[in-house]
Chain A
Amino acid sequence: MKIKQSLVGVGLGIAALLLSACGGNSNPLGEASSSQPAQSGSASAAGAPVVVGSADFTESKILAEIYSQAMKAKGVDSSTKLGIGSREIYIKALQDGSISAVPEYTGNLLLNFDANATATTAEEVEKSLPAVLPPGLKLLKSSPAVDQDVYVVTKDFSAKNGITSLEDLKKIASTSSLGGPPELEKRAYGPPGLEKIYGAKFKEFRPYAKYPPKISDLDANKIQVATFFTTDAVISEKGYVQLKDPQSMILPQNVIPLVRSDVADNANAVAALDAVQAALTTDDLVQLDKKVDSEHQDPAQVAGEWLKSKGLA
């Protein structure tokens, strides 16, 4: 009977699918090129290629390009691997050798390795960092250029509810939604910090991997508070109110290169990066971000132009 035959066929199809799930032990999400074993400090030659990784956001990509092109200009073989993912993921990539350098931010880096850090000023943060780094990783010189995470509300919401600082959030948090990148949910300066330090517990946290839906939802009052970066062009474009942080829940975030030990031993690489760090300003970050985010230029291109303008390439 044809019905019975069809059912047998369907059964075989489902069985095939279930069986296929039994195969494969290795993790399909593992880095495709993580074949390099973790190199000890003196194992590699001074001229080993430096792979600069970056997180998923624009500024990280621009900085990675700047670092890489600056090193190339000083004769160090270098390439980039942009958009790896959040800190949790690219730190792993750094440790297993698939990348050897990444642009970082002092405050969040400290909190990543020591959630209970008590440092509050930029100097304190930088002093505390070397102690908490895992073995094999080193920090180079920090820069005066700063880019903080910041909580914002729309101008209207701020005026209507009297919200100008994170202290004010507890007034409205229980009936409001917070929007931010998915990894913010568990971070020390995210909802856990808001609750612990400012007594603000939000009704819900909505993860946004991309800016446009977050911006749309904030403007439409579907979420009431959102996080951005201080160098994001959208804050001034939309007139968002940046909430003050009197208790320093968000630590100072100076740009700083995080590298594997062998890169720190490479004199040319270090010289190139130190020069970049000294020349970089917060205003530069704002301008560079705007070129890529608002004018849709290419990160590698704007990085090259900046280096040329500073005489570093």
Chain B
Amino acid sequence: MNLFAYLSDPANWQGPDGIWNLLLQHLGYTVAAVGIAAVIAIPLGIFIGHTGRGSFLLIGLSNAARAIPTLGLLVLVVLLLGTGTGPIIGVLAILALPPILTATAAGVRGADHEAVHAARAIGMSARQVVSKVEWPLALPLVISGLRSSTLQVVATATVAAYSSGEGLGRLLITGNATRNYSEMFAGAFMVAVLAIVLDLLLGGLGWLASRHASPGRRVRPVGRMISEPTGTPLNLVG
């Protein structure tokens, strides 16, 4: 049985149900959801990290978010609100929030204290401290949060096909229904490739940000924040 039969047939790549289109849908969901989440979570995270207020929210938030069965949420949303892309992206964005929020807050809060004190000492205003000192120092962690979030969304978007029929997950579901393992494998393979590529891209971005944040220092590639000094893992993957 040829595993790559489905992937290697060019007819399967074309058309509205083709692999290419499904891939683009999947990517679209991911970019939209992470984008929306970032727009909300980064400013909020900077605020929490800089002022120290509200940090009690964060630990509980990531633990709670990890426990949500995404399939149940998606099914509920589709039953209640119909099959539009809006509700689905909404759910994905909500799930994408916690990693970005916690990483941003941790990054800003953990910015090198000597640098922050020095900045205050020479008279920088709060906004200048944030934008010129805390943010660049926090950037590697923010990007690592974006990385976790992206993986979470790519994974959840795969499941979303169950309720909305779009994205690469459709190959998995249709393949299962028609007993075509080659099609299922095509779906799994493409999703895995997408996840790995996005992860590596963001990892590279994070590495660049690390170099920018501490030029001259030996740079450790920032992982996906699996354990923090406090021992609270931030990782969220679906």
Contact of A213 among B4, B163, B178, B200 (CB under 8 A): B163
Q: Looking at the complex, which of A139-147, A168-176, A216-224 is the stretch in contact with chain B?
A: A216-224
- Extra contacts, 7 of them, besides A26-B1, A86-B178, A222-B83 (Cβ < 8 A), are A21-B185, A21-B189, A29-B180, A85-B179, A213-B164, A216-B78, A216-B82
With A212-B78, A213-B163, A217-B82 as contacts: A17 and B184 at CB distance below 8 Å: no
Chain B nearest CB, measured from A33 CB (Å):
15
Q: A6 and B163: CB pair below 8 A? A: no
Interface residue B176 (Cβ < 8 Å from any Cβ of A)? yes
Q: A21 and B3: CB pair below 8 A? A: yes
**Chain B residue with minimal CB distance to A3?**
B221
Residues of chain B within 8 A (CB-CB) of A220 are 82
Contact of B181 among A29, A88, A89, A212 (CB under 8 A): A29
**What separation, in Å, do the CA atoms of A212 and B74 have in the docked complex?**
13
**What separation, in Å, do the CA atoms of A86 and B174 have in the docked complex?**
12
**What separation, in Å, do the CA atoms of A220 and B81 have in the docked complex?**
11
Chain B nearest CB, measured from A9 CB (Å):
10
Contact of A85 among B177, B185, B189, B221 (CB under 8 A): B177
**Chain A residue with minimal CB distance to B189?**
A21
Residues of chain A within 8 A (CB-CB) of B219 are 2
Chain A 7-34 interface 0/1 with B at a Cβ cutoff of 8 Å (1 = within):
0001001100100010011111100000
28 residue pairs from A and B, CB less than 8 Å apart: A2-B221, A3-B221, A6-B221, A10-B200, A13-B196, A14-B196, A17-B192, A25-B1, A26-B1, A27-B181, A28-B181, A29-B180, A29-B181, A29-B184, A182-B174, A182-B177, A207-B165, A208-B165, A209-B177, A212-B78, A212-B79, A213-B83, A213-B163, A213-B165, A216-B82, A217-B82, A217-B83, A220-B82
**What separation, in Å, do the CA atoms of A66 and B44 have in the docked complex?**
59
Residues of chain A within 8 A (CB-CB) of B220 are 2
Chain B nearest CB, measured from A85 CB (Å):
6
Chain B nearest CB, measured from A81 CB (Å):
15
Contact of B179 among A6, A89, A222 (CB under 8 A): A89
Interface residue B215 (Cβ < 8 Å from any Cβ of A)? no
Residues of chain B within 8 A (CB-CB) of A88 are 178
**What separation, in Å, do the CA atoms of A242 and B207 have in the docked complex?**
62
Q: A27 and B1: CB pair below 8 A? A: yes
- For A21, A29, A208, A216, which residue has the most chain B Cβ atoms within 10 angstroms? A29
Q: Is the interface of B mostly helix, strand, loop or mixed?
A: helix
Interface residue A204 (Cβ < 8 Å from any Cβ of B)? yes
**Chain B residue with minimal CB distance to A220?**
B82
Chain B nearest CB, measured from A284 CB (Å):
29
Chain B 144-165 interface 0/1 with A at a Cβ cutoff of 8 Å (1 = within):
0000000000000000000111
Chain B nearest CB, measured from A268 CB (Å):
33
The size class of the interface chain B forms with chain A is: 20 to 34
Chain A nearest CB, measured from B100 CB (Å):
23
**Chain A residue with minimal CB distance to B221?**
A6
**What separation, in Å, do the CA atoms of A73 and B165 have in the docked complex?**
43
Chain A 82-112 interface 0/1 with B at a Cβ cutoff of 8 Å (1 = within):
0001101100000000000000000000000
Docked complex: A178-232 residues within 8 A CB-CB of B: 182, 204, 206-209, 212-213, 216-217, 220, 222
Q: B78 and A213: CB pair below 8 A? A: yes
**Chain B residue with minimal CB distance to A92?**
B179
Residues of chain A within 8 A (CB-CB) of B82 are 213, 216-217, 220
**What separation, in Å, do the CA atoms of A21 and B177 have in the docked complex?**
21
Residues of chain A within 8 A (CB-CB) of B179 are 29, 85, 89
Interface residue B173 (Cβ < 8 Å from any Cβ of A)? yes
**What separation, in Å, do the CA atoms of A187 and B98 have in the docked complex?**
47
Chain B nearest CB, measured from A141 CB (Å):
31
Chain B nearest CB, measured from A68 CB (Å):
24
**What separation, in Å, do the CA atoms of A207 and B165 have in the docked complex?**
8
Interface residue B60 (Cβ < 8 Å from any Cβ of A)? no
- For B1, B219, B220, which residue has the most chain A Cβ atoms within 10 angstroms? B1
**What separation, in Å, do the CA atoms of A14 and B189 have in the docked complex?**
11
Among all A-B residue pairs, the 6 with the closest Cβ atoms: A216-B82, A29-B179, A29-B181, A213-B83, A6-B221, A27-B1
Residues of chain B within 8 A (CB-CB) of A21 are 3-4, 185, 189
Chain B nearest CB, measured from A39 CB (Å):
23
Q: A3 and B207: CB pair below 8 A? A: yes
**Chain A residue with minimal CB distance to B79?**
A212
**What separation, in Å, do the CA atoms of A204 and B3 have in the docked complex?**
30
**What separation, in Å, do the CA atoms of A21 and B189 have in the docked complex?**
9
Residues of chain A within 8 A (CB-CB) of B184 are 29
Interface residue B16 (Cβ < 8 Å from any Cβ of A)? yes
**What separation, in Å, do the CA atoms of A3 and B165 have in the docked complex?**
40
Residues of chain A within 8 A (CB-CB) of B178 are 86, 88-89, 182
**What separation, in Å, do the CA atoms of A208 and B1 have in the docked complex?**
28
Chain A nearest CB, measured from B92 CB (Å):
18
Residues of chain A within 8 A (CB-CB) of B3 are 21, 24
